Amino acid sequence: MASDARIEMSDSARLDILAGEISPVLLELMMDLADVTPYGVTVMATGHPYHVFGTDRVSHHTLGRAIDIYLVGGRQVVDDRGEESATRALVDWLYAHPDVVQVGSPWDVDGPVERRSFADVVHQDHIHVAVVGEDA
């Protein structure tokens, strides 16, 4: 998994996997996602703030249940934000996945009421994906 050529990742993300810090549910999602498209991950657990920015809630990243994707099919998320883009299609795929509990991206797929999906200024250049369940 940590050496899958379809998944570009930072050294810290790779080390999080090798150290057993990442949820098996997230690892399975990452493999499923690599079957859909190659992608790049910037942050998993290491390097992400302990709390969700501006709150006292523990981040899904801290628990080993979230990744930030900056690259989809060779294009940076920030440069691929059209409604018909591969990045938008991936956001829709992630939102439909039963293990995904949170998708932050340039698009709020479900609107302000549901809040499983969200878009804000922080998530214009990457896709935040968090999964249910068991910690690493």
SS3 letters for 30-89?
A: HHHHHHHCCEEEEECCCCCCCECCCCCCECCCCCCCEEEEEEECCEEHHHCCCCCCHHHH
Question: What crossing angle do the helices spanning 24-36 and 86-96 adopt, rounded to 10°?
Answer: 140
Query: In the chain, pLDDT over 70 holds for what percent of residues?
Result: 97
CB-hemisphere CA count at 13 Å for 104?
Answer: 18
Mean pLDDT of the chain: 90
In this predicted structure, the answer to whether residue 135 has a pLDDT above a threshold of 90 is no
**How much is the average pLDDT of 103-123?**
87
In the chain, the percentage of residues whose pLDDT exceeds 90 is: 70
**Would you call 111 helix, strand, or coil by DSSP?**
helix
Given a cut of 60, is residue 134 above it in pLDDT? no
